[in-house]
Chains A and B, each alone.
Chain A
Amino acid sequence: MVLELQKPRPIWQIMFSTHHTDVGLLYLISSLAFLFLGGTLALAIRAELFLPGAQIIGDAMTFNRIFTVHGTTLIFLFIIPFASAVGNYYVPIMVRYKDMAYPKLNAIAFWMIPPSGALIWLGFADFTWYATPPYSIISAPGPAADMWIFGLKILGISSVLGAINFVVTILKCKHPDMSIGQVPLLAWSFLSTSLIILVAIPTFAAALLMLLTDRLGVSGFFNPAMGGDPIAYAHLFWFTFHPEVYVLVIPAIGMMYEIIPRFSRKPIYSYNSGVFAFVLLSIVGFSSWAHHMYATGMSFTEKTVFMVGTLAAVPASAMHVFNFVATMWNGRIKFSTPMMWAVGGIALFFSAGAGGVANAAMPLDFTTHDTYWVVGHFHLFVMGTIAFGSIGYLYYMFPYVTGRMYNETMGKVHFIMSFVGTVLVFFTQHVLGLYGMPRRIFDYPPIPEWIAMNQIATVGAMVIGVSMAIFLANMIYSSGKGKLANTEDPFGVGGKYYYPFEAKNPSH
């Protein structure tokens, strides 16, 4: 691997570089910066909800802005760019090519992220990450709302450019000796997600333009006062963003496919089943979008169709879990930090999926929909599965990126605190949802069960907050002053026979 920080270079050489590892480093640093920014907002939300009544946030409008920007930031400015960072570092090496297929396009795709991040953060919109019409059309204050729309528009284009690059790199630039059936599962995960992006994103891109012209008053696509229908937006939005859920989770699963066999010192149990599950998930991911809309007044038939479509995605996800467990079975497992994160992530992935089955079942959805159950459910995916897989992978790639080792003890403390915190926050939120607390509320009546559950969740969030501070200190200190890593085998797990990058990347 290329060692980035061992050979210090002026920062502009990295910023204006089009080499895949440099672009990967830019993606990595910016996504981590947004992780900490978005996480800080989460702590503010949790502190506010510790007790009924206004606590640290003065008014409902500020609170609404905070949860909107929290969600938008962590989904679009942390999770997706982090996956792009890993893809940039690893995909060209895994398919044995010198760079991404289109290096300049790659750099352009990255450089769209800072301006859109600025638009989202300087605007600070309040209409939720769903930009709910007709509220977003007739009530949401500008220019925040318009800045959010433009920010998301630019991010959508960036995603599409990145996806084209990954598809071409994997399918057209892989080494001629390498068949598609030999491409490592991590690269397969990027192929699947890129194809999903190319099919799904244009729908939301159209919906965003329609939302903008509706706001300008020149059209009424989603505005009932002008003959439009907000449900049309719901369909367009979820047609993009239910598949997008798989765009977020599949790379994290791919990262676990790198970590689990390496630290179990065994080949993956079934490569074919992993590929099959990725492809299956990419296809059935498109059959379930309207399960977000059961309560909008859908007919019984529509609900049944989308329930079946949703349940159809479960076996594919279950195959991944089986593959991980079967790989670890009888392995000589070394629980280094990356392995702990991956195993914790799989456990939480399983829990999140089990909760998802309950949501998909039509009658149960009316209990859980738009309550804190849903907040707990999708956070078990985005935090418990995706962030856990991503952070585990960050520890895994750390010696390859910096040439140094992180502090193992701090890494393990980070994992244990984050795991405990995640369980405290998000399992509790499931229960809170069953007690009926709606999501997206600034304040709540003093119902004893609600107070108790909120307090447990807030304590959990603070535990995660402290662990993230330890993480930040570890990353900053170790990248400059950590002990030098043995880049041949930084984790001391030996054996290279299943190691994906046997071919050396030509130095640049």
Chain B
Amino acid sequence: MGGHSNWPEWVYIGVVVALMCWVGAEAWEAERLVEHVPEGAETIIVTGQQWFWTFEHEDGTKEIGELHVEVGKAYKFEIHSKDVNHSFNIHDYVVLMDAIPGRVNTVWFAPTDAGTHDIQCREYCGLIHYNMRGTLIVEDPTA
């Protein structure tokens, strides 16, 4: 357009770019910490299939629809699927990872308080997707 100075737009773009750099750097730093699986985390094999979750602990114990864990321990989930895509989600602990047939994805968490939380499927998987739910039971062994 010429004829008028454009400095307000440059300042504005500078602010937006700086803001995005800050968001990106913070996200990078947070994700780096979140993805670091702690030493000695217990492995739980999670299997999704239409339309329920199965859990297998390191000692071979199997559970369907319910998952019992203990406060103060770290757990690493190895997520499998037997049929179509699912997504394993414990929303209260921001645990989310897709269960994809032919792949094994991992995600970890460490429960902090005793209590129960919802487990759900967050990826569309067909007829009963809405009810592919489970319960996480966090127990305090000292109590």
- Across the A-B interface, the 3 shortest Cβ-Cβ residue pairs: A436-B91, A224-B102, A297-B105
Among B8, B32, B91, B128, which residue has the most Cβ atoms of chain A within 10 A? B91
User: Which residues of A have CB within 8 Å of B128?
Assistant: 60
CA distance A60 to B18 in the complex (A): 46
Instruction: Find the B residue at minimum CB distance from A224.
Output: B102
Set of chain B residues within 8 Å of A135, measured between Cβ atoms: 84-85, 124-126
The minimal Cβ–Cβ distance linking A287 to chain B, given in whole angstroms, is 13
B27 interface hit (Cβ, 8 Å): yes
B6 with A443: CB separation less than 8 A: no
Residues of B within 8 A of A (CB): 1, 6, 8-9, 12-13, 16-17, 20, 23-24, 26-28, 30-32, 34-35, 50, 83-85, 87, 89, 91-92, 94, 96-98, 100-103, 105-106, 118, 120-131, 133
Q: Given A362-B27, A364-B27, A61 and B118 touching (CB < 8 A)? A: no
Give Cα A311–Cα B118 distance, bound, in whole angstroms: 32
Which chain B residues lie closer than 8 Å to A127 at the CB level? 124
Q: Answer whether A307 and B84 are a contact pair too, CB < 8 Å, given A60-B130, A272-B1, A370-B123.
A: no
Segment among A3-11, A100-108, A110-118, A315-323 that sits at the interface with chain B: A315-323
Contact check, B31 vs A295: say whether CB atoms are below 8 A apart: no
Q: A322 and B28: CB pair below 8 A?
A: no
A326 touches B9 (CB 8 A): yes
A271 interface contact, C-beta 8 A? yes
Q: Report how far A107 CA is from B131 CA in the complex, Å.
A: 47
| A residues less than 8 Å from B34 (CB atoms) | 363
A378 to chain B, nearest CB (A): 15
Interface residues of A in 277-297 (CB under 8 A from B): 295-297
Nearest residue, chain A, Cβ from B86: A135
CB atoms of B1 and A443 under 8 A apart: no
Contact A314 B83 (CB under 8 A): no
Q: Give chain B residues whose Cβ lies under 8 Å from the Cβ of A311.
A: 20, 23-24
A250-299 contacts to B (CB < 8 Å): 267-273, 295-297
Asked whether B27 lies within 8 Å of A445 as measured between CB atoms, the reply is: no
B28's nearest neighbour on chain A, judged by CB, is A304
Is A482 in contact with chain B by the CB < 8 A criterion? no
Would B1 and A267 count as touching, CB distance under 8 A?
yes
Given contacts A135-B85, A370-B87, contact A362 B122 (CB under 8 A): no
CB distance from A294 to the nearest CB of B (A): 9
| Contact among B1, B94, B123 with A367 in the assembled complex (CB-CB below 8 Å) | B94
Task: Say whether, besides A135-B84, A307-B24, A441 and B31 are in contact (CB < 8 Å).
Answer: no
Q: Quick one: which of A64, A231, A295, A300 has the most chain B CB within 10 A?
A: A295
A230 interfacial by beta-carbon distance below 8 Å: yes
Taking CB atoms, residues of chain B closer than 8 Å to A367 are: 91, 94, 96
Partner of A440, one of B9, B124, B133: B124
Are A138 and B83 interface neighbours, CB within 8 A? yes
Q: Which of A297, A315, A362, A443 contacts B13 (CB 8 A)?
A: A315
In this assembly, does A427 line the interface, its C-beta being within 8 Å of a C-beta of chain B? Answer: no
In the bound complex, CA of A127 to CA of B50 (Å) = 14
10 further A-B contacts with Cβ under 8 Å, apart from A135-B85, A443-B130, are A139-B84, A225-B101, A231-B100, A296-B98, A296-B100, A300-B35, A314-B20, A438-B89, A438-B120, A442-B129
Least CB distance, A452 to chain B, in whole angstroms: 17
* Interface membership of A16, Cβ < 8 A: no
Chain A contacts for B131, CB-based, 8 A: 443
Cβ of B17 and Cβ of A370 under 8 Å apart?
no
Q: How far, in whole Å, are A323 and B9 apart by their CA atoms in the complex?
A: 8
- B27 and A134 contact, CB distance less than 8 A: no
A57 to chain B, nearest CB (A): 12
Is A369 positioned at the interface, with any CB of B under 8 Å from its CB?
Answer: yes
> Across the interface, which residues of B come within 8 angstroms of A314, CB to CB?
16, 20
Please name 19 pairs of A and B residues whose Cβ atoms are closer than 8 Å in the assembled complex, sorted by A. A60-B127, A61-B127, A133-B85, A134-B84, A134-B101, A135-B84, A139-B126, A228-B102, A229-B102, A229-B103, A270-B9, A307-B27, A315-B13, A315-B17, A322-B13, A360-B27, A362-B30, A364-B27, A370-B123
For the complex, give the distance between the alpha carbons of A319 and B13 in Å: 7
Which B residues are in CB contact (< 8 Å) with A436?
Answer: 89, 91-92, 118, 120
Also in contact, A315 and B28, with CB within 8 A (given A139-B83, A369-B96, A443-B131): no
CB of A303 closer than 8 Å to a CB of B: yes
B109 shortest CB reach to chain A, Å: 11
Q: Is the CB of A128 within 8 A of B124?
A: yes
CB < 8 Å neighbour of A361 from B27, B35, B121: B27
Whether, in the assembled complex, A444 has its beta carbon less than 8 Å from a beta carbon of chain B, the answer is yes
Q: Residue A431 at the B interface, CB < 8 A?
A: no
In the assembled complex, the CB of A453 is this many whole angstroms from the nearest CB of chain B, namely 14
Whether the Cβ atoms of B20 and A362 lie closer than 8 Å is no
Is the CB of A203 closer than 8 A to any CB of chain B? no
How long is the Cα–Cα vector from A445 to B124 in the complex, in angstroms? Answer: 17
Nearest CB to that of B8 among chain A residues? A326
**CB-based contact B27/A231 at 8 Å:** no
Compute how far the CA of A435 lies from the CA of B91 in the bound complex, rounded to whole angstroms: 8
A361, B32: Cα distance in complex, Å: 12
Question: Is the beta-carbon distance between B16 and A300 smaller than 8 angstroms?
Answer: no
Q: Provide the A310-341 mask, 1 if CB < 8 A to any CB of B, else 0.
A: 01101100110011001000000000000000
Cβ 8 A contact of B98, one of A295, A303, A363, A445: A295
A454 at the interface (CB under 8 A from B): no
Asked, given contacts A138-B84, A366-B96, whether A297 binds B103 with beta carbons under 8 Å apart, the answer is yes
Which chain A positions have C-beta within 8 A of B24? Answer: 307-308, 311, 361
Rounded to whole Å, the gap between the CB of B105 and the closest CB of chain A is: 4
Q: Is the CB of A271 within 8 A of B20?
A: no
Contact A444 B23 (CB under 8 A): no
Q: Which residues of B contact A474 (CB under 8 A)?
A: none
* Chain A residues whose CB sits within 8 angstroms of the CB of B123 once the complex forms: 132, 370
CA distance A289 to B84 in the complex (A): 22
The distance from the CB of B53 to the nearest CB of chain A, in whole angstroms, is 14
Chain A hits for B84, CB < 8 A: 132, 134-135, 138-139
